[in-house]
Structure 1
Amino acid sequence: MDRPSLWTHSAEEPPLLPEAEAPAEGAVDVAIIGGGYTGLATALFAAQAGLSVHVIEAAAIGAGGSGRNVGLINAGLWVPPDDLLQTLGPQVGPRFLDLFGRGPQTVFDLIEQHQIRCEPRRMGTIHAAHAPRGLRDLQARHAAWRRLGAPVGLLDREETAALTGTTLFHGGLLDRRAGKINPMGYARGLARAARGAGARITTATPVTALRRDGAGWRVETGRGTITAPQVVLATNAYGGDLWPALARAVTIIHFFQVATAPLGEASADILPQGQGLWDTAPVMTSLTRDGAGRVILGSMGRMIGTPQTGVSARWARRRFRRLFPEKPVPDFTEGWHGRIAMTQDHMPRICQLDRGLWAPMGYNGRGITTGTLFGRALAEMLAGAPQSSLPLPVSPLGRRAAPGLQARAFDLAFTLNQIAPIP
């Protein structure tokens, strides 16, 4: 397993305690494979709807992408809203944009309802222009969102500097719908809420086989077998070999983060209002600051070496110096990476792999809102809502050309980016 993230020990929500009844066996209405945002949101809403649910997680809650991401709760997708409307058409597009525009509110409502301890901050997020061409892209996005009535603001260079603490960026887009959280805290809180609603959750139990069983499915593990007429394969970028065709439908890339020790007042002028940031560079950089004053820098690629002396640590020190040249470069003490499932068009998918077998996938780095919204929608459908109520039409699985080769090419490019001098 990859190095644990900072969020594993900084989250206020404690790890979910194993249930007394250890065997993963029995018959349920819905079996869910994967204990991340999608699987846990599906379990919570399905259990609330009266369905019997069992979540099977190979490691610990949030051990995959859900507990490793940057923690930004963004509205919408990477795809600009005008392009998304054109792609989805006049029937689905406006409904999808409205749902995802309200996605952060849905997440924050769940946090409030279940009192999830995850350091929620709803001060917006900043998409920062790394260059003049990045600012032009943000201006176009701002105009598109404003036509739709979204509460987004275009920041000039001085306004961006005031909100970020650095003069490096040429401007920014402030999305006031958005915010940030401790991502592991949210995952653990969803698990606690799902179990409280009646869902059963079994951790540290890899699924060894998924087999058709008459009209339903057999989910086989080393600790027993679960049978269910409906299965949600909620593994996204962490599916492994359980359903090999899934791995051929997306390209897996990595995103690493490196964090300082708590800096206290020394970091108070970095993102002073509590927003999170990512930039418009082709190989993007993220910047956040947590409640303890840690500064967390991230970029595409794997974590290389130790957080103190490795390649990624050296990149983080150079990047910090470029962002904040007047500050002493702090020590970086923790580092980790997670996986992102990318689709060719940067659109997520809800796929039906077989009768009663569902696979939401391809979140393209927008896992918190997408996983929560897809999980709720799948639960409602499994409880009786029509398939047309899903946020997107059900998609064929499809297949990317040479996804493994693409992933290796990205890995090489991202590694070179860590080594290269920062302009």
Structure 2
Amino acid sequence: MVASTNEDTILWSLTAPPAPAVEIMTQDIACDVVVVGAGLTGLRTAVALAETGTSVAVIDAQQIGYGSSGRSGGQCNPIWRATPHELAAEFGYSQAERLIEATLTSADDLFDDIRRLGIDCGAEQNGWFQAAHTRKQAASLKGLASAWRKVGAKIEDCDSPGTHAGIGSTAYEFSLRHAKGGFVQPLALTRGYSRAAMEKGARLFEEAPATKMERKDGKWRVSTPGGTLVAEQVVLATNAYTDALWPGLQKTILPMISISLATQPLDAAQQASVLPGRVTMSDSRLAIYYARYDADNRLIFGCVGSTESVKTFGGPGRLRKGLRRVFPQIADIGIECSWAGRIGVTPTMKPHLHEPAKGVLAGLGFSGRGIAMTSVMGRAMARKVLGASNSDLPFPVTAIKPMALHGVSKAFVPLMAPSMSTLDQASVVLDRGLDRTSKEKPCT
């Protein structure tokens, strides 16, 4: 029997080390840089700046890691959905080359950071399986892997036996194994960055929403209910929780929803059967399935949701159905909790780096690649603040371009999960239909 679920309870908030004691804004403050957003992006930026002696103040409207950084699946999936050739076509050869280089080292750089900064966040780098749910997607993944191997990525094609053994599931007939992939406890990582930033001299403030930004006397003034921060430069790192603080920025992304559940801890026999080797997995569905362990051997399983209440539009049912489909051997396992959170998605599924005014940077829109790429973005924005030229950065610095019909698209976000699930089911049915004229076993 499945145990009753403690819905809308975030596992990470129950298992992360305690949050550090931070300040409350009660007066005006002067510093070199104000970072708006105390998530992975903002805090990694603050660490890099504070390491150089730059005076930094980080503010957040809620608590450290309240947003995506404390709610995501915590998987480090270090590759784009686009090939290097497609990146070059989109950005130009020189820019693509820098992005490719940063991508290839992103996972190792993250786990090296964790070790160097002494962050206790359950980090494990055991590899990531990217599974195809249809033959069409299998062909696409083969092409993706081949293209990335040519530039040095460590990716292995896995046929049916290798996929079944590697993931512990017969739901897929082909996958890629990315040797550099892994996972972290995302809220613990976020809190670890906050401690590191504070140890290096940064000041952190919770419950300090930025209500206004204006330039006066050559400096930026960021207003909060408790006081005003005056600085040479401002970094906006609010991702899917971006509001109207800077005109148009909110409309460059869609705040999609990720929902997750945590099972009861698996016993040794179950662990040998499900994600053996403590790898991670995600698949090629539009309403993607993903899974990984936590430090206490719970299986974390997730998919696309509708709202920040996991219960909306059949979220729990979608999670349990997916779990049974991918891992039927633990179909009756108890579920301890489930939760939801926003992720920032851009039209191209790649993050944006903007410089909308002198002394203002914004990095957001990680589109499901946030664990690795927030670290890349944080370091890049710190370098830009310290004087690096745009031609030295891994991401192109672009103008803010609000999405067409953003309001309409945002209004339909709650319907996207069930719609994508329906399309996924149709793709599987089509795949099975094609299989009637082929001896090849379909992916499911």
Please classify the TM superposition score into its range, dividing by the shorter chain length. Answer: over 0.9
Which amino acid in structure 2 is aligned with residue 301 of structure 1?
Answer: G
Q: For 1:91 and 1:310, how far apart are their aligned partners in 2?
A: 45
For residues 410 and 22 of structure 1, do their structure 2 counterparts lie closer, same or farther at Cα, with a shift above 3 Å needed?
closer
Q: For 1:22 and 1:221, how far apart are their aligned partners in 2?
A: 8
Q: For 2:204 and 2:404, how far apart are their aligned partners in 1?
A: 36
Matched, 1:285 2:289: yes
Correspondence 1:295-306 to 2 at 5 A: 295-302=299-306
Deviation at 1:306, TM superposition (A): 6.5
TM-score (norm 1): 0.93
Q: For 1:363 and 1:328, how far apart are their aligned partners in 2?
A: 32
Q: What residue number does 1:263 align with?
A: 266
Q: What residue number does 1:353 align with?
A: 356
Q: For 1:393 and 1:419, how far apart are their aligned partners in 2?
A: 35
Secondary structure of 1:83 counterpart: helix
Query: Which of 74, 77, 80 is the equivalent residue of 2:77?
Result: 74
Matched, 1:177 2:180: yes
Q: For 1:247 and 1:205, how far apart are their aligned partners in 2?
A: 19
Q: For 1:348 and 1:421, how far apart are their aligned partners in 2?
A: 25
Q: For 2:394 and 2:327, how far apart are their aligned partners in 1?
A: 41
Q: State the 4+ residue runs in structure 1 displaced beyond 4 angstroms.
A: 303-307, 416-423
The gaps in structure 2 that reach 5 residues or longer are: 1-6, 429-444
Deviation at 1:317, TM superposition (A): 2.1
Correspondence 1:392-407 to 2 at 5 A: 392-407=395-410
Q: How many residue pairs align between the two structures?
A: 419
Deviation at 1:81, TM superposition (A): 2.5
Secondary structure of 2:99 counterpart: helix
Question: Higher mean Cα deviation, 405-414 or 182-191?
Answer: 405-414
Secondary structure of 2:125 counterpart: coil
Query: Which of 390, 402, 414 is the equivalent residue of 2:393?
Result: 390
Which amino acid in structure 1 is aligned with residue 297 of structure 2?
Answer: G
Secondary structure of 2:343 counterpart: strand
Matched, 1:212 2:245: no
Matched, 1:236 2:239: yes
Query: Which of 263, 272, 277 is the equivalent residue of 2:276?
Result: 272
1:300-337 superposed Cα distances (whole Å, 9 cap, x missing partner): 12368667x98222222222222233434222221111
TM-score (norm 2): 0.89
Deviation at 1:94, TM superposition (A): 1.3
Question: Higher mean Cα deviation, 282-291 or 405-414?
Answer: 405-414
In the alignment, is the contact (CA less than 8 A) between 1:305 and 1:311 conserved in 2? no
Q: What residue number does 1:321 align with?
A: 324
Q: What residue number does 1:8 align with?
A: 13
Question: Higher mean Cα deviation, 228-237 or 262-271?
Answer: 262-271
The gaps in structure 1 that reach 5 residues or longer are: none
Q: For 1:294 and 1:29, how far apart are their aligned partners in 2?
A: 43
Secondary structure of 1:173 counterpart: strand
Question: Higher mean Cα deviation, 50-59 or 377-386?
Answer: 377-386
Q: For 2:9 and 2:220, how far apart are their aligned partners in 1?
A: 33
Which amino acid in structure 2 is aligned with residue 271 of structure 1?
Answer: L
Correspondence 1:146-161 to 2 at 5 A: 146-161=149-164
Which amino acid in structure 2 is aligned with residue 390 of structure 1?
Answer: L
For residues 3 and 30 of structure 1, do their structure 2 counterparts lie closer, same or farther at Cα, with a shift above 3 Å needed?
farther
Q: What residue number does 2:65 align with?
A: 62
1:238-263 superposed Cα distances (whole Å, 9 cap, x missing partner): 11222241111222211111221223
For residues 419 and 100 of structure 1, do their structure 2 counterparts lie closer, same or farther at Cα, with a shift above 3 Å needed?
closer
Question: Higher mean Cα deviation, 181-190 or 78-87?
Answer: 78-87
Q: What residue number does 1:168 align with?
A: 171
